[in-house]
Structure 1
């Protein structure tokens, strides 16, 4: 069982990260999928996506949940039947789930140079403190993307913009934490952020 890491940011919150080493067939063993989930995974054209989907079900099992305990609302936000808050992510060969009594969001991304090409699409305020010639520029951009994706997932409101409404307060990579805000429709919402890097990936999660 390749449970890669378990993090407990506070008493109400747990993060579990999975390193996807198994084949599709191996991941199908030991999880009881609902008919909708089985139909969904069988319809996926990419085995990488299938393995990511199934690894999340193994993470749910590690939390003590079954696939049937998970459902999605009309905006695509995941929920648990017991009322706990949940957020889910997977990227290439890593997946992660965060479960909490608090409102949470999580994202994992692979660190790639091409994020610099699309930076103008998701940063604005952050330009004031980013240095695009610094050695850690790509890493910082990846952290900011993960932060904003986490905010988007927890807020889950149509019309929310990464660039216009989500702000990541200045940080250094070795800080492993910062503050972020959602400034939306004249209301400001503050979130605690924690982030980490591993094997060329970045993970960030937001906690209300």
Structure 2
């Protein structure tokens, strides 16, 4: 079910879908003439959860745009729309899927379930120079991870090391806000602004490619 449709202040279109439907219910939401093609594609996806993610994002896209659109994937796995006119970023987590669209700029979005598991892997993506609020350790680490996922999608560069190449400037998490980041993977060392939100079930981050150098 589409639980959020929002035009962002930087010209994007953001959607969040709560994945409550099963596979058959989602197929019924597909246009009739596209169902057989969807069923053929899903035949090769053994995971039920992966099938639901695939269907949910495509149904959500049609509801966001009010028309049929086809999502394909490049060789590196990144999504694109067949019409070539709109940039898209997609993310999934437990029970939720999200999409960010923009007609002019590259986009990156990420949604992550709130979980303590992030503690075990935090050293792999947070550098010693990055600040983590000890009073909000888990959510702050999760926001770092999510923000770097969003940046990775936006930049679309090969060989990015989250710990080495992506730096999140110090901030203290609130229920929502803006964080700043810098990448050192390219010679431009570009700076970014990312929006973030903290919800009871998940954190959400997104960025649009109106970049400053």
TM-score (norm 1): 0.88
Q: Does 1:154 align with 2:173?
A: no
The match for 2:86 is 84
Structure 1 unaligned regions, length at least 5 = none
Q: Pairwise mapping of residues 15-94 of structure 1 onto structure 2 (< 5 A)?
A: 15-32=14-31, 33=34, 38-64=39-65, 65-68=67-70, 70-80=71-81, 81-94=83-96
Q: State the superposition RMSD in angstroms.
A: 2.0
- What corresponds to 2:123 in structure 1? 120
Deviations 1:57-110 (A, max 9, x none): 111101224352x22223222122242111001111000000012211011111
Q: 1:166 to 1:39 in 2, by over 3 A?
A: farther
Are the counterparts in 1 of residues 180 and 192 from structure 2 also a CA contact under 8 Å?
yes
1:188 alignment partner, SS class: coil
Give the gaps of 5 or more residues in structure 2: none
Q: 2:107 corresponds to which residue? A: 104
Aligned length: 203
CA positional deviation for 1:150: 0.7
CA distance in 1, matches of 2:190, 2:36: 38
SS of structure 2 residue aligned to 1:29: helix
More strand by share: 1
In structure 2, do the counterparts of structure 1 residues 82 and 34 end up closer, same or farther at CA, with 3 Å as the change threshold? farther
Q: Distance in 1 between matches of 2:168 and 2:115?
A: 20
